[in-house]
Amino acid sequence: MKEQEKTTLRKLRREKAESFFLIIRGAEVGVFAGLVCVLYRFLLSQAESLLYRVIDFVKGSPVKCIIWIAALAILGALVALIIKAVPDSGGSGIPQVTGEIKGYLSPSWWKVIIAKLVGSTASIFSGLALGREGPSIQFGAMAAKGVAKITKADKTTELRMISCGAGAGLAAAFNAPLAGIVFVLEEIYKTFDKAILCMGIVAAVTADFVSKLFFGQDTVFSYDSVTIPLRWYWLLIIMGAVCGLFGVISNILMIGFRDIVAKITKIPNTIKMAAGFAISGAVGLLMPQILCGGHRMSELLINEHPAIGAMAILLIAKFIFGIFSFGTGAPGGTLYPLCVLGAYLGAIYGTGAINIFGLDQSLWQEFVVLGMAGLFASIVRAPITGVILVFEITGNASSLLPLVVVSLISYALANMAGNTPFYAALLDRIVKHEGVKESKAAEKVLESFIIPQNSPLCGKTISQIKWGKHCLIVSVERDETPITPKGDTELKAGDELIIMISQRHFALDYARIERIIGGR
């Protein structure tokens, strides 16, 4: 063990002089992740375009409609077989990435990329209300894992690269590099790590650059912002509460329906998926506006400003179809469909506020944007990411304060309701209900923790703390100077602890250390 400690300390000192190495790693991850996500975006755009052409072709002919729905059923069965062969290619992809970082999963990176590309493209072609953002995050993570495997990176570096790849995937999907790195720190990695920050920024910016080379520099959702007068900010508090409540209901129904489908074990998954694709085909013939991620609904909202009744119908229809689509377990994301739902929720709320209180009509689009951020904060439980993401996809900074107000109120209400965050609930089901086992070959991972002011650790020695049998303090960094830890080493506020944790016990040990440091 002492020899292992010496090796680890030498590695830590070497890393101090390797900032350039992190930049290179980040660029490698960004390029590879960006290229995979560009291919994915291209395939999805072609699939969605072809879908609407097919719908136009078969409409009006009962025979053609029946053939189309039957073809989708066959396609759904094939997608189910793909998921059976590569289980981690199903669903959104975000909980799978988190699961790998925590040591629960270890999928083959190239199998996931291929299976997810095929499965998600097929899902969009069927019209299921799924988006590209979750898969893009998983593509970025798997691309980064591929780079790590090819370059023979150690396990700590590999996990950091996977985390940064996830952020690069989000950056490429939304053209939002800042949101990409914040998402990694807030939702995926759930801690501040200087190496992650350095590598992640480079990866996200590089992936965003690659994406913009192919798709241009336009923002995903552009509008002319108008500042909401301060005297009307009380409306934002109510709106935050509305978004929070809607998000809680959405989480309950989406997870609940997914559980119901999973419990129907007498019907093979191939039949379930075939039925899901067939039903999606029928929905597309009746109400094509609500298909796929929601780009057509977004265009309709901004270009035509529908009446409040029409918006309510589309919101409810998209909401129900989104729950159904997610429940099928088909490969595809939920982030963009959620943003579209939030936009419609904000549009309805804004229309009501304008009509009742006589607000300026130009404020309507502001409420649309606020709805997107509010619902994101409630469902994903990552308010900072939501604010920055909406800020980047709209390209407008004047809405920052209203975005923060709505997001924090929505986030707080969802937390008060005791509702489990969406992706945390999904990961819990992957681990518990689908029989995922922790990897027996899990390696050691280095993690950093900073002792805050007023921490109960301040003034105590290392030997006085029960760290856990799977944890080892390998370095204490004070004022940028590494200190070899000993039992009588006294801890102070601002110290950065470098702790070696078994990847197999990462989730529990990491949470325990956080509680110890925070005094919880």
Residue 421 phi/psi, 5-degree rounding, is: -50, 145
**pLDDT beyond 80 at 339:** yes
Q: For the residues 218-237, what does the mean pLDDT come to? A: 79
Q: How confident is the model at residue 433 (pLDDT cuts 50, 70, 90)?
A: low
Q: What's the CA gap between 508 and 213, in Å, rounded?
A: 42
Q: What CATH code is assigned to 444-518?
A: 3.30.70.1450
Fold of 230-267+281-432: Clc chloride channel (1.10.3080)
Q: Is 230-267+281-432 the same fold as 19-215? A: yes
443-469 tens-digit pLDDT: 677 777 888 888 888 888 888 888 877
Residue 127: predicted pLDDT: 94
**Where does the pLDDT of residue 512 fall: very low under 50, low under 70, confident under 90, or very high at 90 and above?**
confident
In tens, the pLDDT along 257-296 reads: 998 988 888 899 999 999 999 999 999 999 999 999 888 8
pLDDT-derived band at 74 (thresholds 50, 70, 90) equals very high
**CATH number of the domain located at residue range(s) 19-215 in this protein:** 1.10.3080.10
HSE of 204, CA atoms in CB hemisphere, 13 A: 26
Percentage of residues in the chain having pLDDT higher than 70: 90
The pLDDT mean for the chain works out to 86
Helix axes 133-150, 94-101, angle to 10 degrees: 40
CB 157 within 8 A of CB 180: no
Q: In the chain, what is the straight-line distance between the N-terminal and C-terminal CA atoms, in Å?
A: 30
Whole-prediction pTM:
0.86
Mean pLDDT, residues 475-490 = 83
- Give ∠ CA 372-376-381 in degrees, rounded to 5: 160
Q: Which of 60-64, 120-124, 228-232 has the highest mean pLDDT?
A: 120-124
499 has pLDDT over 80: yes
Mean pLDDT on 159-178? 91
Q: What is the pLDDT of residues 7-39, one digit of tens each?
A: 555 555 555 556 778 888 999 999 999 999 999
Q: What is the mean pLDDT of residues 302-331?
A: 92
Using one digit for the tens of pLDDT, what is the confidence trace for 112-151?
A: 999 999 999 999 999 999 988 889 999 999 999 999 999 9
SS3 395: coil
Checking if the pLDDT of 437 tops 80, the result is no
> What average pLDDT does this structure show over 299-314?
89
Token pair in block for residue 448: 């950093």
pLDDT higher at 321 or 398: 321
Alpha-carbon Rg of the chain, whole angstroms? 24
Q: Above 80 in pLDDT, residue 246?
A: yes
- What's the pLDDT at 318? 95
Q: For residue 216, what are the CA distances in angstroms to 31, 172, 220, 388?
A: 16, 12, 10, 20
Residue 16: per-residue pLDDT: 55
Domain ranges of the chain: 19-215, 230-267+281-432, 444-518
Q: Which residues contact 203 (CB under 8 A, 6 or more apart)?
A: 26, 27, 29, 30, 33, 140, 144, 164, 165, 167, 168, 171, 180
What tokens does 510 get?
Answer: 């990491």
Closest listed residue to residue 282, CA positions, set 503, 1, 73:
73
Residue type, 382: A
User: Which pLDDT score, from 0 to 100, does residue 225 have?
Assistant: 67
DSSP percent split of the chain into helix, strand, coil, nearest 5:
70, 5, 25
